[in-house]
Each structure stands twice: as C-alpha cells, then as structure tokens.
Amino acid sequence: MQQSERQKEIIETALNLIDTKGIQGLTIKNLSKAIGISEPAIYRHFESKNDIVLSLLDNFKELADMLAGLMMGHQGSALEKITILIEKMTMLFKENPPLVSVIFSEEIFKNEEILKNRIVEILDTHANTIENIIKKGQEEGDVRKDIDDKTLGLMVMGSLRLMVKKWDLKGKNFDLLEASRNLIDGIGKILKAQ
C-alpha cells in the first residue's frame, strides 16, 4: 500500500523513538511532540500505535520479499547469493540503525499477536530464502550435504543476527561492513562442500 509523505514521516519518527526510548517511549503524545503536529493529526493517518508499528514491519516485510525475489532470479552460486543477501542486510542496518531495535527485539511484540505474527512472517521469509539458496547449492554440489539446509540456514541467520545485535549493543563502535565480510568468509568455509 502506498504511504503518504506524512505517514512515512510518522513511521520514521516512530522508529527513532523506539531506538532511543524503547517501545515504551513510542506513544502518540511523544510522536506528536517529535514531529510537531497534534495527536489528532497522527490519528488521521493511523488508527493506533500498533497500526504505526505494523506499517513499519510491513515495509520490512516488503524488503524481505524483494530480497527473496532477487535471490530467486540471481544465477550465481549459493555462496554468491548468501554474500549478496548478507551485504544487503548489513547495509540496510548500517544506513538505518534504528531498524535493529525493532527487527531484532521481537520480544517487545510478544504481547501483541498481530505484531508478533508479522515479525514471524519476516523471519520465515528470510529463513526460507536462505534455506532455498542452500538447498539449491546442495543439489548443485556447491554446499555440503552432511548438514541439512534448515540447520545451515539457522547458522547463517543466527550469525548475522548476533553480529548486528552486538554492533548495536556496543554502540556501533566497530565497522559493521568489515565484520560482515569476515562473517561471509567464515560462512563460506562452513558451507563449502567437502
């Protein structure tokens, strides 16, 4: 669904509030103050705080779907595809650090069923994309077959998640792109067919 400029501004401000103040800091009152508009003006664009967060997650789901499509159409090896995926995700987080607070803090949504389900959809999309890449790599003989695609996919996703979360928690005090290159190198060694 196409978002208005004001909706995009509200979503971006909400993301920054979550990043700096946590989910508890995301209130319609704080949003209206941060943007400089009235609370009723926000309600003209979104029904509730959850509606705002859901829109934010929908944007991330669209990105996950786009990356999945990109990987399906790419003709490279499994490692090349995983490299592209990790590089794109790393750049996304480096350019939009507040996203880490939302995407990798899914526990903040566990009491909100619709938000929790959307996070699960996003995680499943990424997991399926990586597992499909690995499975195809196994079929083509590029990726080891002694570990199943789901376990290898979990290793890739978990490693990426830990790296990004560590970068976030340490105040972004190390080069995320360099760390991702090291991660890609290590993953390549783990995935390589013996």
Task: Name residue 192's beta-bridge partners.
Answer: 143
Between 22 and 29, where is the model more confident? 29
Across 73-86, average pLDDT: 92
Q: Is the pLDDT confidence value at 120 over 90?
A: no
Supply the DSSP symbol for 193. Answer: -
Per-domain boundaries in the chain:
50-191
3-class secondary structure, 143:
strand
CATH homologous superfamily of 50-191 = Tetracycline Repressor, domain 2 (1.10.357.10)
Q: Is the pLDDT confidence value at 106 over 90?
A: no
CA distance 72 to 55: 26
Q: What pLDDT shows up at residue 18?
A: 84
Percent of the chain with pLDDT over 90: 57
Across 37-56, average pLDDT: 90
pTM: 0.85
CA distance 27 to 123: 26
Q: Tell me the two tokens of residue 2.
A: 């196409």
